[in-house]
Structure 1
Amino acid sequence: MKQLILIFGLLVTAACNNQNSPSNIGEAGAEKSDKDKLLNTGAELLQHKAPINAIATYMDGFHFYNGNPDAQMEAHHYVTQLSEDLYQAVIYDGNQKDAKLMGVEYIVTEKLFKGLPEQEKKLWHSHRYEVKSGLLTAPGIPDRIEHELMEKLVSTYGKTIHTWHTDQENSLPVGAPMIMMGFTQDGQIHDHLIKERDTRFKINTTEIRNKRNDIAVKEIVSGADAWKNGEFRQFTISSEIDSALHKHQKQ
């Protein structure tokens, strides 16, 4: 299955570069100079980019800020499968060339998630509802292959950190990184986000949901989706930490 997903992942990465989802914001700073453009072109032609080239699958989904479920955004995932049980994804706010790198997500199977410390589990979210509801999609992959991919992802868990909050129209990656979560039931996500996504990709989330009725699910492992129990984990910027780091750097 891993080889099958990889082959079609490579195809979809190319096929889905239809650039139908622009970035939420423009770029801070002046336009790139002709010299910079030339340097970038030369580097693109001459340098190897093995970690980037290992990205095989493009998936589109939605996140919200842990502790603030009304602050929601679409997230474009470019995924590398590292092993049978571990994936890593870079997340952008669009799929065009000027998309902003919003953050990262690490994805593990149930087997690995069960082995995490209890406090660590509270940073992770389940993918069961995202898959079964059709919120998580792999645009461009043939239905049969996408179905196989979702059969595996339905029992996985994700740890997501956003570092650039483009949904707040920040033209620079300012502020603290934020732990993100995924949706777990109907009525949580803003309807307009789904409608806008479906229009751009020419898909129907309801139809996708119906096609996934036969995907078997397991009980969500205790500890995931801790926000549902009122337990929120989030980064904060502390002057005490800043002072400690500054003191360490001077030593």
Structure 2
Amino acid sequence: MRIALLALITTLSACTPDTPAAPAAGIDKSPRSRVLETGAMTLQGSGPVGRLDIHLIGFHPLKDDPQQQMEAHHYCRQVNEEFAQCALFDSDAAHARLTGIEYLISGRLFGRLPADERRYWHPHNGEILSGQLSAPNLPLPAERALMRSKMNSYGKTWHLWHDGQELPLGDPKLAWSFNREGEIDPALVAARDRAGTISTDQRRRDRESLRALARPQFGVDALREAFPQATPWPGVVDAEPLQGPVD
């Protein structure tokens, strides 16, 4: 199966540098805790966590506050051909903070959702065709095959630990996707490009063939009022476009 093969490639690929995340509140681990941790790792195994073997890097704005934007490292399991589940971290470091969760479904499953549920699910075609969504360490052909399998899919993402916090405080926040040129902070993309070996522009050009697969998706225009000067990406079209001016 294609996804299983890609997951295996991802697992065996070289890891990116282990840069430390911002520390959480609390005192350092005691020697006793470290011994217990080592014993647990040896005797208990990793259970379902060990199946989170697909690594994706994406960028999320909060739907109700889209100026708050962050890089999110997704560690995912492809449960079946139409459903995946991911744990989100703020980096790929060993001590990264678990910041949220995301569920991914196919366009077919999205079409079965009731209307009031659809407002929680963001479209993925913009992330894919823009080159923003990446699978680090995969060669471009393998990454393109993985992205092809995600065309026209949707994600439901909740962030629980926000920038500037020592602990995950307050209510979970619904995150969204970027669907137009000019919505994302260019500094986020530039930082990711500096850390990798393939640029966002390279990924965008490599995925041009996927544009023919793109269907209109719900939620593409969700951030349009927050970014009135943003311009459409080819192939990224809202299934129910907003009408009239937004400024």
Q: Which TM class, normalised by the smaller chain length? A: 0.7 to 0.9
Q: Which amino acid aligns with 1:13?
A: T
Q: Provide the rounded CA distance (Å) in 2 between the counterparts of 1:84 and 1:71.
A: 32
Q: Provide the rounded CA distance (Å) in 2 between the counterparts of 1:207 and 1:83.
A: 30
Please report how far the alpha carbon of residue 11 of structure 1 lies from its aligned counterpart in structure 2 after TM superposition: 3.1
Corresponding residue to 2:13 among 15, 18, 43: 15
Corresponding residue to 2:118 among 116, 121, 142: 121
What is the aligned partner in structure 2 of residue 244 from structure 1?
Answer: none
Unaligned 5+ segments in structure 2 are 226-247
Q: Provide the rounded CA distance (Å) in 2 between the counterparts of 1:213 and 1:86.
A: 25
Q: Provide the rounded CA distance (Å) in 1 between the counterparts of 2:46 and 2:34.
A: 18
- 1:137-189 per-position Cα deviation (integer Å, ceiling 9, x unaligned): 00111221111111111210000001111x2x201011111000010111110
Are 2:170 and 1:152 equivalent residues in the alignment? no
What is the aligned partner in structure 2 of residue 220 from structure 1?
Answer: 216
Corresponding residue to 1:184 among 179, 185, 193: 179
More displaced 10-residue stretch of structure 1: 7-16 or 176-185? 7-16
Q: Which amino acid aligns with 2:195?
A: R
Corresponding residue to 2:133 among 136, 158, 177: 136
When normalised by structure 1's length, the TM-score is: 0.85
Counterpart mapping for 1:44-123 below 5 A: 44-123=41-120
Q: Is the 8 A contact 1:181 1:225 kept in 2?
A: no
Q: Provide the rounded CA distance (Å) in 1 between the counterparts of 2:197 and 2:19.
A: 12
Q: Which amino acid aligns with 2:90?
A: D
Q: Which amino acid aligns with 1:211?
A: D
CA gap of 1:22–1:134, structure 2 versus 1, over 3 A, is: farther
Kindly indicate whether structure 1 or structure 2 has the higher relative contact order, using CA contacts under 8 Å at least 6 residues apart: 1
Counting aligned pairs with the same residue, the percent is 34
Q: Which amino acid aligns with 2:123?
A: S
- 1:185-207 per-position Cα deviation (integer Å, ceiling 9, x unaligned): 11110111001111012321001
Please report how far the alpha carbon of residue 80 of structure 1 lies from its aligned counterpart in structure 2 after TM superposition: 0.3
More displaced 10-residue stretch of structure 1: 71-80 or 5-14? 5-14
SS at match of 1:89: strand
How many correspondences in the alignment? 225
How large is the RMSD of aligned CA atoms in angstroms?
Answer: 1.8
Are 2:33 and 1:30 equivalent residues in the alignment? no
What is the aligned partner in structure 2 of residue 172 from structure 1?
Answer: 167
When normalised by structure 2's length, the TM-score is: 0.86
More displaced 10-residue stretch of structure 1: 186-195 or 141-150? 141-150
What is the aligned partner in structure 2 of residue 163 from structure 1?
Answer: 160
Please report how far the alpha carbon of residue 68 of structure 1 lies from its aligned counterpart in structure 2 after TM superposition: 1.4
CA gap of 1:14–1:28, structure 2 versus 1, over 3 A, is: farther
Q: Provide the rounded CA distance (Å) in 2 between the counterparts of 1:58 and 1:16.
A: 12
Q: Is the 8 A contact 1:104 1:160 kept in 2?
A: yes
What is the aligned partner in structure 2 of residue 43 from structure 1?
Answer: 40
The structure richer in helix per residue is 1
